[in-house]
Structure 1
């Protein structure tokens, strides 16, 4: 975690040896880095939940 955090703190992009390359966030793809025992990139996670909240927002 510290190896991911250090580059993120200085450049805005988390990076660590052996971890996936995380592209900049855009509203089109909503690329999200899921940090776990094995990190992975998830595009548009929780899209259905977000759509529900967007419909409920007046």
Structure 2
């Protein structure tokens, strides 16, 4: 009986860790993605400037 409660508590703790980790992982992914988008926009902007100069 005691082992069963221990496993259940472990499961609950892991569940809470996952819930806490999801927003952190999402924010890290968002920051990385924003960096990529910013680089892509920078390239597009440079191309548009080159076209405008011609």
Both structures adopt the same fold (TM-score exceeding 0.5): no
Which structure would you say has the larger Rg?
A: 2
The structure with higher relative contact order (CA 8 Å, sep 6+) is 1
Q: What TM-score does the superposition give when structure 2 sets the normalisation length?
A: 0.30
Q: Between Structure 1 and Structure 2, which shows a larger proportion of strand residues?
A: 1
TM-score (norm 1): 0.29
